[in-house]
Chain A
Amino acid sequence: MNLTLNPILALLIFPGGLCLLAFSLVYEFVDRKLIARFQNRVGPRWFQPLADFIKLLAKEEIIPAAVNPALFISLPIVALAAALTATLYVPMFGLQPAYGFPGDLVVTLYLLSLMTLCIGLAGANTKDRFSLIGATRALTQLFSYEAPFLLAMLGPAIALGTWNISTINNSAMHSWWFLLTQPFGFLVALIGLMGKLELPPFDAPEAETEIVAGALTEYSGRGLGIFHLGRDVELVIGLTMIASFYMGGLASPLDFLWKTIVLLLVTALLQSLFARLRIDQTVGMWWRVGTILVLVQLLVIILGRYLGPLIQPLFGG
């Protein structure tokens, strides 16, 4: 589906900007509610994420002594801005991306990583012990899931021979779901997204029973609210990308809705199934299992691309 809008409108209201923010809060609610139901709890009311956000905006923002105030204030904004910028290149709500150029996949993935980098920097910026350990863990985790996640997202791109998100989305609509042809890639991408968002069981960087709130321990009020909002936005973008790459593309808003909600259901289930991994276990898992799986799959894809045309005549294709 294609929709032509004034670029300013596209940026600020729909599909980026306000509309996306509202959607990300709804997705946070769905995520929290699902986990609560899986854990036999009642869970939050539908407006709880919005209420939390408004409450945080209204609170005093305490800037601790011995931090760089400019960095302290700007980091959450940069993180949110990066996540919002990334929306321009992905098929939000099943619509054509607002912008696109060959290779925008790499830019989008980079913009998504910026969030973790900002969190790491925010933690390292303060002198708090919990923040410092949280920042170290966040960056350690970044180095463990980033490569497998990137490779997993490149799987469909290599198979289709283009690094443009909208082209991948359109081609994916006309072929088999990559979920079926590249199951490892799908798995690694989905779990990688959970690692990226520091969702349980990959929440060692913000393990509350060990290091309070990790890198964001010193954040209060507006900064914390914006970081949380940025993470919600990233959740929506991540789900959109995985759905469009691995689940047969996003042709319409309805398509977008059911595919991302199914993905969210799976992540919520995974979040409530496991005990938290220690940071060394996380790193070990990603490099020993995740990376190997994706590499094997990449090898298969590359072989398939070169051998495919050779063996195709044999099957009468």
Chain B
Amino acid sequence: METNHVPEKFIVSIGPQHPALKEPGHFEFTVDGEVVTNATARLGFVHRGMEKGTEGRNYVQDLYLMERVCGICSHVHAMAFALGVEKLAGVQAPPRAQAIRELIAELERIHSHLLWLGVAAHEGGFDTLFMFSWRDRETVMDLLELISGNRVNYSANVLGGVKIDINEKQKDAMHKGMDFLEERTEHYMKVVTEDETFLGRTRNIGLMTKDQAELLGAVGPTSRASGVPHDVRVDSPYAGYADFPVKLITEPAGDLEARFVVRINELFESYRLVREIIDHLPEGELTVRVPRRIPEGETVSRVEAPRGELFYFMKSNGTDKPDRVKVRTPSLCNWASVLTLAVGHKLADMPMILAGIDPCFSCNDRMVTINRGNDSQVWSWEDLRKYGIDYYK
């Protein structure tokens, strides 16, 4: 067996199909016994060509396409796109629409963080916490279904506002849901910060200092767990975040435990925000008119997705179709931190360190160009199209 001759090159490959990862990504950990000495990642298994897809559709159709970039944070994608288009068109959605956008974004954050809590616990072999947090997550899923009719792609946004309104009955349901979730989350906070076996898997594991986090370009809760005071909702408020401000939550420790604590504290902040929004929902219209043809221009739209800063660059050319839409999702920014932190840790810590950034694979996937020495080749759009047609013929 070749690996026996060179023991320091024993590579454990995880993915693209592996029980730890429910999404396709490929990681190679070079291990020396149980200790990881090198880590590499390969993405690109589920590249869907969505950015290119936007160029062939008009803005209204693109809104539906962008909502499907990510299965978990579908609303923030649609919101980022809608906000960008509104900025290009020079219109602003009414305050009630902005508040409802924020409300759904926070509900989505609750669902995403609870989902993550379960997944991270499962990676650490703590299936009981996994089952309980996913059971409680159903509460917020039901609330989202109640107000939008959908559990995943809420389809709340239209260009220039939102298409759903919140009534008194829904407000009551949300109050009840938040009360229940708050109580449960307090319990999870206790589990995460007090359970000895769990702390053994999280405390001082995957330690990332503030400098490292800034250097590696980490975003979102991952960087806030290292004490980086950075949150798009606070730094440059969008949608309703100016009227209903959010408190910046950071933890100085920088280990896995801090990432748990930051996310759970964000849950509490989201519960507070949801209550505040439904209690003080501004009256008024839900939409403004947005022209079909968007004037020529370029803009950047930044929102805080559950996983961190979501960045949209948009270029319009005066027609009803965008010239270029560029999406950069938070998971992509956090890979560098995972691969750096992995070195020196035990193989058993890898799933948790990986899960610690709350990775979302298909939304951050990129085309991969493979350089094989000198025979590199560039394929144009037409070449790719022809290849695709021939392949599936």
Interface residues in B1-52 by Cβ distance below 8 A to A read: 1, 3, 10-13, 18-20, 31, 34
Bound-state CA distance A270–B351 (Å) is 23
- Asked if A39 and B127 sit within 8 Å, CB to CB, the answer is yes
Chain B residue nearest to A276 (CB atoms) is: B125
A280 contacts B12, C-beta separation under 8 Å: no
Interface pair B132/A39, CB less than 8 Å apart? yes
A274 and B122 form a contact (CB under 8 A): no
B19 / chain A contacts, CB cutoff of 8 Å: 208-209, 212
A246 contacts chain B at the CB level, 8 A cutoff: no
Say yes or no: is B105 at the interface (Cβ < 8 Å to chain A).
Answer: no
Closest chain B CB from A277 CB (angstroms): 6
Question: CA separation between A40 and B11, bound complex, in Å?
Answer: 38
In this assembly, does B241 line the interface, its C-beta being within 8 Å of a C-beta of chain A?
Answer: no
A29 to B51, CA, bound (A): 50
| In contact, B351 and A275 (Cβ under 8 angstroms) | no
A209 touches which one: B122, B135, B197 (CB < 8 A)? Answer: B122
B388 CB within 8 Å of chain A: no
Task: Assess whether A45 is interfacial by the CB under 8 Å rule.
Answer: no
- Determine how close the nearest CB of chain A comes to the CB of B102; give it in whole angstroms: 32
**Nearest CB of A to B147, in Å:** 26
- The residue from A40, A41, A66, A210 contacting B351, defined by CB atoms under 8 A apart: A210
Give, as a whole number of angstroms, the nearest-CB distance from B126 to chain A.
Answer: 4
* Interface residues in B155-185 (C-beta closer than 8 Å to A): none
Answer yes or no: B359 CB below 8 A from chain A CBs. no
Say if the beta carbon of B255 comes within 8 Å of chain A. no
Determine if B346 is an interface residue (Cβ-Cβ < 8 Å): yes
Contact status A209-B34, CB under 8 Å: no
Residue of A nearest to B119 (CB): A209
Contact A278 to B197, CB < 8 A, known contacts A127-B1, A210-B20: no
The answer to whether A278 and B121 touch (CB under 8 A), given A39-B131, A129-B12, is no
Q: Does A204 contact B (CB under 8 A)?
A: yes
B275 at the interface (CB under 8 A from A): no
Within 8 A of B (CB), among A162-210: 200-201, 203-204, 207-210
Say yes or no: is A266 at the interface (Cβ < 8 Å to chain B): no
Q: How far is the CB of B56 from chain A (nearest CB, A)?
A: 40
CB distance from A265 to the nearest CB of B (A): 16
Give B334-358 as 1s and 0s: 1 = Cβ < 8 Å from A's Cβ atoms: 0000000000001111110000000
Q: In the bound complex, what is the Cα–Cα distance between A208 and B125 (angstroms)?
A: 9
Task: Decide if A78 is an interface residue (CB 8 Å cutoff).
Answer: no
Name which residue of chain A comes closest to B1, CB basis: A127
* Contact in complex: A276, B124 (CB < 8 Å): yes
A40 touches B125 (CB 8 A): no
- Which residues of the partner chain A approach B127 to less than 8 Å between Cβ atoms? 39, 200, 272
Residues of A contacting B129 in the complex (Cβ-Cβ under 8 angstroms) = 275
Question: How far in angstroms is the closest Cβ of chain B from A187?
Answer: 16
Interface residues of chain B: helix, strand, loop or mixed (majority): helix
A209-B201 CB under 8 A given contacts A129-B10, A133-B12, A279-B348: no
Q: Chain B's nearest CB lies how many Å from the CB of A237?
A: 26
Q: Are B34 and A129 in contact (CB under 8 A)?
A: no
Question: What is the minimal beta-carbon distance from A282 to any residue of chain B, in angstroms?
Answer: 10
Enumerate chain A residues within 8 angstroms of B122, measured Cβ to Cβ.
209
Question: Are A275 and B12 neighbours in the complex by a CB distance under 8 Å?
Answer: no
Q: Does A38 contact B (CB under 8 A)?
A: yes
- Are A209 and B12 in contact, with the CB atoms below 8 A? no
Closest A residue to B352 by beta carbon equals A209
Whether B11 and A210, one on each chain, are in contact in the complex, defined by CB atoms closer than 8 angstroms, is no
Bitwise interface map of A from 111 to 151 toward B, beta carbon under 8 Å scored 1, else 0: 00000000000000001011001000000000000000000
Q: Which of A129, A208, A277 contacts B200 (CB 8 A)?
A: A277
> Would you call B377 an interface residue if the criterion is a C-beta within 8 Å of the partner chain's C-beta atoms?
no
Given the interface pairs A210-B351, A212-B18, the reply to whether A203 lies near B135 with Cβ below 8 Å is: no
Complex: A41 Cα to B123 Cα, angstroms: 19
Tell me if B376 is interfacial: C-beta within 8 Å of chain A. no
Docked-complex contact A276 and B126, CB < 8 angstroms: yes
Cβ-defined contact, A201 with B20, below 8 A: no
User: Which residues of B sit under 8 angstroms from A54, Cβ to Cβ?
Assistant: none
A274 CA to B132 CA, complexed, in Å: 14
Q: Is B1 within 8 A of A279, CB to CB?
A: no
Task: Show the binding face of A for B, using Cβ within 8 Å.
Answer: 38-41, 66, 127, 129-130, 133, 200-201, 203-204, 207-212, 272-281
12 intermolecular pairs with C-beta atoms under 8 Å apart: A40-B135, A129-B11, A200-B125, A203-B125, A207-B125, A272-B127, A274-B197, A274-B198, A275-B200, A276-B348, A278-B348, A279-B34
The 10 A-B residue pairs with the shortest CB-CB distance, nearest first, are A276-B125, A275-B126, A209-B20, A39-B131, A274-B197, A209-B351, A278-B348, A275-B198, A208-B19, A275-B197
- 13 additional contacts (CB under 8 A) given A210-B20, A275-B195: A39-B127, A39-B132, A40-B131, A127-B1, A133-B34, A201-B197, A207-B348, A209-B123, A275-B125, A276-B124, A276-B201, A277-B200, A278-B349
Residues of B within 8 A of A (CB): 1, 3, 10-13, 18-20, 31, 34, 121-129, 131-132, 135, 195, 197-198, 200-201, 346-351
